[in-house]
Amino acid sequence: MKVETFEDYEAMSQKAKEIIVAELSARKDTLICAATGKSPTRMYELVADEFNRQPALFSKMRILKLDEWGNIPMEHPKTCETYLQTHVIQPLRIDTDRYVSFLSNPGDPHEECIRIQKEIDRMGGIDLCILGLGMNGHIGLNEPADFLQPDCHVADLSEMTLQHPMATAMEEKPGYGFTLGMADILQSRKILLLVHGSNKNRISRELFSGRISTKIPASFLWLHPDTMCLTDNEIY
């Protein structure tokens, strides 16, 4: 994993946008796995600005949702679906045939995971996986544990994860989560990890130590041959 530090969130987001544009310039049908949350928001805004300048560049771009809160209506304002529709799918005019998304409240959660896994295989794997760093070191909803799941799975949510602003804004808390597994993430051709916010001082120090542990799932990114971590000087 390569770590690049920036003077502020804006500069970090600008660099992240440039990485996405470079990927699309090299391959228009790039499959991007998209995370939600505070860290990537400004990057998505800058990508939308780029779309307005050169929409043809995004005409074949494909999007895969990284994770989702479980047992919550899809239209809830704090689902990952609503976030991606607002910041990515609608601004970039991504057609439904170029977007693969976990349902938040399917009839059979385990079958939903099988469906998404088959979609990943059908699309030939992830080209660029965008990730944020959870307060407990999770990526996606791969939570700290004695062992980690390789494939798409239903995730038990930790108490710390349930303190995420998206979850705390829900009247009824999600009972579980959906997420890509560690193998899905680590088999991505390129990974972009965005770490922003002084509240992540402690966990970022643990991550940047280079020690690999299932207690910090993000630490497995050190094993990937092409991971770029962008952060700002608040935390590194």
pLDDT band at 160 (very low <50, low <70, confident <90, very high): confident
Q: By the 8 A CB rule, do 18 and 55 touch? A: no
Q: What is the CATH number of the domain that holds 14?
A: 3.40.50.1360
pLDDT tens for 36-71 read 999 999 999 999 999 999 999 999 999 999 999 999
Active site residues: 67, 136, 138, 143
- Buried b / exposed e over 205-219, threshold 16 CB at 10 Å, is ebbbeeeeebebbbb
Total count of domains within the chain = 1
Q: By the 8 A CB rule, do 189 and 126 touch? A: yes
**What's this model's pTM, rounded to 2 decimal places?**
0.95
Domain extent at residue 15: 2-232
